[in-house]
Amino acid sequence: MTIENLSSNKSFDGWHKQYRHQSDSLGCAMRFAIYLPPQVSNGQRVPVLYWLSGLTCTDENFMNKAGAHRVAAELGIAIVAPDTSPRGEDIPDDDSYDLGQGAGFYVNASESPWNQHYHMYDYVLNELPALIESVFPVTDQRSIAGHSMGGHGALVLALRNSDRYQSVSAFSPISNPVNCPWGKKAFTAYLGKDTSRWADYDASMLLRESRRFVPALVDQGDADNFLTEQLHPEALMTAAEITNYPLELNFRQGYDHSYYFISSFIESHLRFHQKHLFKE
């Protein structure tokens, strides 16, 4: 696969790099960022944490704001952050911030005009890891994490593919999208009006049926402006109780939906993933 290096910056003796490549899944050029910890300079192959960002974000938000490089360098974990949707002049879009470019919702769209390009689920699950593992000095040990819309995506991907991920974590995930305005709008557009098809992309509904467990960590700020209307962590808690799922869900007093919240607790998430990525 051909990829183009767009930028390189040394960080905590590792390297943060941005790349562009042509995606078969999405039918357009896609950009991603990767942090390679210093261990790769010594010939080591390292595991990968995939980070999925939220509405309106790109590959840059997490890498620039989360403060994750220091701990990733210590632990020897690579971090890969894809964009949140296909982009380009010929890619369908919408005037609102919560649909179209920047709002892929990590689904495989089945409805026109979205179904030609909006296959972020396949891209994150299959195409991007295949690219990363063929080009960079990494192992096939993967974990996945995300924020808001990306937290939804991370949970869904892990719950549906327990053999592919060692662990999953999320900050402020959209936990029950079939029952919130963001989810209803996106799923109607991308998946159609038949709501029975939406369950495949709802973490709370998937968790209710789960029989193979991926260790999961969720942090939610109790001062989050979107908590009541959009996020519904209580649905996730109820589902975990039904199946005795190994979910650790923390409510963090006074924290909101921003990257101030993420940067405050990203170290604990990275150390959580490290325990599972390096498990014998």
List the structure tokens of 165: 């991920």
Q: Are 112 and 63 in contact (CB under 8 A)?
A: no
Confidence of residue 2 (pLDDT cuts 50, 70, 90): confident
Tell me the average pLDDT across 225-253: 97
Q: What pLDDT is recorded for position 210?
A: 85
Which one of 11, 25, 85, 148 is the catalytic residue? 148
Q: What is the CA radius of gyration of the chain?
A: 17
Confidence of residue 1 (pLDDT cuts 50, 70, 90): low
Q: For 182-232, what is each residue's pLDDT tens digit?
A: 999 999 999 999 999 999 999 999 999 988 899 999 999 999 999 999 999
Confidence of residue 92 (pLDDT cuts 50, 70, 90): very high
Residue 32 has pLDDT above 80, yes or no: yes
Report the mean per-residue pLDDT for the chain: 97
Q: What pLDDT is recorded for position 49?
A: 98
> Would residue 194 show up in a list of annotated catalytic residues for this protein?
no
Which one of 16, 117, 119, 257 is the catalytic residue? 257
Which one of 59, 202, 219, 224 is the catalytic residue? 224
> Would residue 257 show up in a list of annotated catalytic residues for this protein?
yes
Confidence of residue 280 (pLDDT cuts 50, 70, 90): low
Architecture of domain 3-277: 3-Layer(aba) Sandwich (3.40)
Nearest Cα residue to 174 out of 232, 219, 103: 232
> Would residue 119 show up in a list of annotated catalytic residues for this protein?
no
Residues with Cβ within 8 Å of 61's Cβ and at least 6 positions away in sequence, in order, are 53, 54, 259
Q: What pLDDT is recorded for position 211?
A: 83
